[in-house]
Amino acid sequence: MGHLWAPLFILKAAHWPSDIGNILPFLQNTSKHIKQLNLDGTNLELFENILLCRMDLLEDKEQAHLAENLLGKSLDALILRTANDKRKFVNILLATVILFRPPAVVLHTLLFKPIIGIVPIETVIATI
């Protein structure tokens, strides 16, 4: 799973009723940028799929093929949903880079290490 949890966490946290930037100031700009995308529930889900469908992280060829298919379908659906606003589609895709900027290790240290200690967050996620 690598550090995919961190961008997904940030994406979700940007949509919390309270501002994550108030809790973690270094996420202020990232959160603001994500909120400006004005993602509805469906576009948010499609964006999550795009983030998760990383064939390069999968060793199993069948799993990689499934991820590639889901990625294609998610991109196609997002294109259709943003057909009237091509800039929105591009901005959503460009936001991928922004979500990966905050270091996962910093998020883990500040938010999760006080609770789970030295247990890697990937181990916790795998048990859920």
Q: List, in sequence order, every beta strand (DSSP E) within 11-119.
A: none
Domain borders along the chain are 5-127
pLDDT tens column, 80-124 = 999 999 999 999 999 999 999 999 889 989 989 999 998 888 888
Q: In the chain, what are the helix, strand and coil shares in percent, each to the nearest 5?
A: 75, 0, 25
The CATH homologous superfamily to which domain 5-127 belongs is Retinoid X Receptor (1.10.565.10)
Q: Say how far apart CA 37 and CA 16 lie, in whole Å.
A: 14
Which residue do the tokens 């996620």 mark?
125
Encoded tokens for 124: 């916790």
- Look up the pTM and report it: 0.85
